[in-house]
């Protein structure tokens, strides 16, 4: 009987990565479900509890670069195993917090650092294992984030209603250990030959991480990912509130957000498969342009049917472009330093994600409407398109690599 090829096991790596992103991001985003019960039970302000989410994004962004560097040096398994242990620890200790600062430290800092260990390292490893359908592979890993709103959040809501917020968070923490720690042992380094079989898959001239972080390609990718996330994070975070401002009932407004989340999952798969056919750069540029147009369209929608239709297209766009940055990092810089470079790119993306909700809150508190949020996000979205258009072609980047070498 013949041995399975390395590409067969590569899909196991993809499945493990998708599980890690689902549980990691799902538990982090579940704070929205815990917000009201914690505030009412503990007497803590919602702003204070919500600050843990801001800390999550900031810590995740800063940690992503470090985790990516460690994965390049020591391997992905030890990184995701450390993150899995830290994730459960953050949830378990947060469930026992007696004061607000303790909760912010445990949920905001520990969980943010833990989640940073999953995204960049698993995306880098999946791209190293899967050659032919690389864009689809990283899209599937990223799809874990799209699945989390329909898995972790409803589970958290049910547990809270049945047992209260402390037992619910404790049980989710223990469950995260039970799911992720065994999955970590499925993670294996890619064979040395993986990712190097074709001359057009990676740069012929390898460069060091320090050199890569000074290249125009890195600056463009980091700036585009930052602008992309800064553009869509505000409209996404304030989507339910904006629908309610337009007169839509609260429970119905939540379904608008749910439609966008499910559509984002489909966008990851659709644009990932499309990028395998025509290339990541043109798909990224087109997706960013559609995203910007959708953000501008929020200025004109007011009816429930319009919100649903816009959520479908918006979700396809913002969800679909997210995995493509990993593909471009892999094409420009190769597999050897991808964890470091993509971790750095992801750090800028996390800063963009942290900016949007905060800016949207300031805009609404100042003007009592979201007009300037959507107008500003539209402008930032167009800036992301312009930066993405400046990406050099793959062949040009290889030529530049030969010159600098």
In this predicted model, which residue has the larger pLDDT, 87 or 330? 87
245-292 tens-digit pLDDT: 899 886 777 778 778 878 888 888 889 889 888 888 999 999 999 999
Q: How far apart are CA 183 and CA 120, in angstroms?
A: 17
Q: How far apart are CA 264 and CA 93, in angstroms?
A: 32
The whole-model pTM stands at: 0.74
Q: How far apart are CA 222 and CA 345, in angstroms?
A: 5
Closest Cα partner for 27 from 98, 90, 74? 90
Tracing tokens 């000074």 back to the chain, one arrives at 214
Q: Grade residue 206 by pLDDT with cuts at 50, 70 and 90.
A: low
61-97 tens-digit pLDDT: 889 888 988 988 898 999 999 999 999 999 999 999 9
For the cut 70, the answer to whether the pLDDT of residue 403 exceeds it is: no
162 token code pair: 């049945």
Structural domains in the chain plus CATH codes: 1-189 (1.20.1250.20), 201-405 (1.20.1250.20)
36-40, 41-45, 175-179, 355-359: which is most confident: 175-179
Angstrom CA distances, 72 to 35, 117, 197, 209, 332, stand at 37, 12, 20, 10, 16
109-161 tens-digit pLDDT: 999 999 999 988 898 888 888 877 888 888 888 888 777 767 887 888 889 88
Q: Tell me how crowded residue 143 is: count the other CB atoms within 10 A of its CB.
A: 26
For the cut 90, the answer to whether the pLDDT of residue 396 exceeds it is: no
360-378 tens-digit pLDDT: 777 877 888 889 999 999 9
The predicted model gives 337-349 an average pLDDT of 85
Closest Cα partner for 330 from 206, 211, 146, 192? 206
Contact in structure between 335 and 128 (CB atoms under 8 Å): yes
Tracing tokens 């939540």 back to the chain, one arrives at 254
């Amino acid at each position: 009987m013949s041995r399975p090829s390395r590409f067969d096991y590569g899909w196991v790596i993809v499945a493990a990565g998708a599980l890690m992103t689902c549980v990691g991001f799902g538990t982090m985003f579940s704070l929205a479900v815990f917000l009201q019960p914690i505030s009412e039970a503990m007497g803590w302000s919602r702003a204070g509890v919500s600050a843990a989410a801001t800390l999550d994004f900031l810590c995740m962004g800063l940690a992503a670069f470090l985790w990516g560097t460690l994965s390049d040096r020591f391997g992905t398994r030890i990184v995701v195993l450390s993150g899995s242990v830290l994730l459960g620890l953050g949830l378990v200790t947060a469930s026992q917090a007696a004061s607000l600062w303790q909760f912010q430290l445990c949920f905001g800092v520990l969980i943010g650092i833990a989640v940073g260990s999953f995204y960049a390292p698993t995306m880098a490893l999946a791209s190293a294992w899967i050659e032919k359908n690389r864009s689809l592979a990283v899209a599937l890993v990223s799809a874990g984030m799209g699945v989390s709103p329909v898995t972790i959040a409803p589970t958290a809501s049910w547990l809270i209603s049945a047992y209260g917020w402390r037992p619910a968070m404790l049980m989710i923490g223990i469950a995260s250990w039970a799911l992720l720690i065994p999955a970590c042992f499925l993670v294996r380094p890619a064979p040395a030959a993986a990712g190097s079989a074709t001359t057009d898959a990676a740069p012929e001239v390898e460069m060091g991480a320090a050199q890569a972080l000074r290249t125009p390609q890195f600056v463009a990718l980091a700036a585009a990912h930052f602008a992309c996330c800064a553009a869509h994070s505000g409209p996404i975070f304030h989507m339910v509130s904006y629908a309610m401002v337009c007169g839509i009932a609260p429970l119905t407004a939540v379904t608008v957000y749910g439609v966008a989340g499910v559509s984002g999952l489909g966008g990851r798969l659709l644009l990932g498969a499309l990028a395998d056919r025509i290339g990541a750069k043109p798909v990224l540029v087109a997706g960013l342009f559609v995203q910007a147009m959708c953000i501008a369209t929020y200025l004109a929608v007011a009816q429930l049917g319009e919100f649903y239709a816009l959520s479908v297209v918006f979700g396809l766009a913002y969800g679909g472009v997210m995995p493509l940055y990993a593909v471009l990092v892999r094409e420009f810089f190769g597999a050897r330093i991808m964890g470091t470079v993509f971790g750095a790119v992801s750090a800028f993306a996390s800063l963009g994600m942290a900016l949007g909700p905060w800016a949207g809150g300031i805009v609404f508190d100042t003007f009592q409407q979201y007009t300037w949020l959507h107008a500003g996000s539209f402008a930032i979205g167009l800036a992301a398109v312009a930066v993405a258009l400046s990406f050099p072609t793959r062949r040009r980047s290889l030529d530049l690599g030969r010159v600098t070498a």
